[in-house]
Structure 1
Amino acid sequence: MHDHSASELPSLRRQKILLILERDGKVMASELSQHFAVSEDTIRRDLAELDNAGLVQRVHGGALPRPKDTGKDYFTRLDEIDEVKIRLAQLAAQQIRNGQTVMFDSGSTSLQVARSLPRDISLTAVTASPMTAIALSEYPGVKVILAGGQLNPKTMAAGGHEALRLLSGIKADLAITGVCAIHPEVGITSLHFDEVPVKQALLDCAARVIAVTTADKLGAVEPFVVAPCERLHTLITERHVASGNVEDYRRLGIEVEQLQD
């Protein structure tokens, strides 16, 4: 039975190719072409994109898995923060007001927002990320509440019942989140299953949610669904994105702010 729905959305089809690759240990372009009812040229383009992203290793006629964990741990990702992410973080920091209670998601993007606040800001900050808590503690007027629990070495954030209990007991004015992937139909998705409940709690407990993301995350899909896009109030992203992407989110009622050149 052909998977026509996946053929309509390249990002979804590529995600399913990754799942098939994980299951079978190898994929062949000819078989994937029949499975998804698309041409082999389309599949080859899919495999080329996945290879460029470091997710598969192309071989003649198909692809093999990349070795697990290419070494890009949390600290490596921090070192790779570029000018665009810094500018996005600065734009998000301008949305934060004195006196607010603000939740900061885990991840390098939210950490960069924390580092971009005005020196004299006064607020209550809540986070499950020790790195973000340390950055926020450098501001004299910021009271930091750190959610505890078991530390996930991949995300460098706390998770589990202890973190969820603390987060769910707070009513925040604002939540700042980065996203692994966001798709107008699939919603906000994550690469890590165990961080989904904490991200959901963060979205549930804030009156307003701001997502900060580079353009490559728009239209992407990861395996674990966090929430529909409508849970976001503001999306901050780059100026130049794939045609139509930004309007898809505006049609859902999300305010979209883009960097100016």
Structure 2
Amino acid sequence: MKRSNEEVQARRNQLLERIKELKITDAKTLSQEFAVSEMTIRRDCTVLSEMNQIKISFGKIEIQNAEMYDQDNADSMAHIKARLAKEAATFISDHDTVFINTSSTAIQSLSYTTDKTINVLTNNTKIIHMNHHPQSTIILSGGEIRYPKEALFGDIAMESFSNARSDVTIIGCSGLDLKTGISTSVIHEARINTKMIENSGKLILVADYRKIGKSSNFTIGNITDIDVLITDIYSDKKVLDEIEKLGVQIIQLPF
């Protein structure tokens, strides 16, 4: 039986932790420890290397310096999120009404729309500190502020999205799974995200490889609600193929 995406990801996470412990090792050693073939280990390590998490050289597998590893990993994720955000921005046109949720990637897409006059409704207060076209209209949903995300939630926020319709909605999520659909880990934001999806024109979901095939606590929408999924080259291809069969346009960005 072929292993599920979750099992593969779990093994890669365990591999990474073991490599960090060993400092330097090889495929044969890891193969014996994890009871999988050396080919499987090499394939997993190739993915981890492409994600800038480990180094492979002359058959040796090693972790980077801990401080360098943490910084490189953060830089790598920041780069991925920026690329996803920039691609999502291409779906926004002049005079569109746009919904944005509390996702850091979704809100970043607005950084690439400063040349467009748009109307934005969001419960993400980070928009206050962003540049925008002087003729654009920026509307905060209102509601209670929840930290540390600085997200607006509650009945007032819900009412704002209940009485509006978007041309384009850009959202992020905690998980995207074939069985549980689009999900979030934050109960306070779940109802608002669901309402955004219900009242969307075109729905653009931005989700990096860590979210694909993962299920989080609260379902906010179905896969069939998504018009365009923007993700990265590290996402599980088998899961993406099944999502595409459900009619979702998938944009998988190389890095």
2:245 is matched with: 251
Which consecutive unaligned segments of at least 5 residues does structure 2 have? 19-73
Give the C-alpha shift of residue 243 in structure 1: 3.3
1:121 is matched with: 116
Among 39, 48, 51, which residue is 2:14 paired with?
48
SS in 2 for 1:145: strand
Give the C-alpha shift of residue 132 in structure 1: 2.0
1:84, 1:96 → 2: CA distance?
20
Question: Are the structure 2 counterparts of residues 155 and 241 from structure 1 closer, same or farther at C-alpha, using a change threshold of 3 Å?
Answer: same
Matched-pair contact (CA < 8 Å) for 1:120–1:141: no
Give the C-alpha shift of residue 231 in structure 1: 1.1
Moved over 4 A (4+): 7-10, 44-47, 49-52, 78-81
Offset from partner CA, 1:78-129 (integer Å, 9 cap, x none): 9985111111111110110001100011121112111122x32011111011
Q: TM-score, normalised by structure 1?
A: 0.68
Does 2:82 match 1:86?
yes
Question: Are the structure 2 counterparts of residues 51 and 225 from structure 1 closer, same or farther at C-alpha, using a change threshold of 3 Å?
Answer: farther
Match of 1:243, as an amino acid?
A: K
Offset from partner CA, 1:121-140 (integer Å, 9 cap, x none): 0111110111124425x321
2:78, 2:11 → 1: CA distance?
27
Does 2:224 match 1:234?
no
Match of 1:48, as an amino acid?
A: Q
2:127 is matched with: 132
Which consecutive unaligned segments of at least 5 residues does structure 1 have? 1-6, 15-41, 53-77
1:113, 1:162 → 2: CA distance?
25
* Percent of pairs with identical residues: 22
Aligned length, in residue pairs: 198
1:92, 1:191 → 2: CA distance?
23
1:59 is matched with: none
2:92 is matched with: 96
Matched-pair contact (CA < 8 Å) for 1:104–1:125: yes
1:195, 1:247 → 2: CA distance?
29
Among 102, 105, 108, which residue is 1:112 paired with?
108
Q: TM-score, normalised by structure 2?
A: 0.70
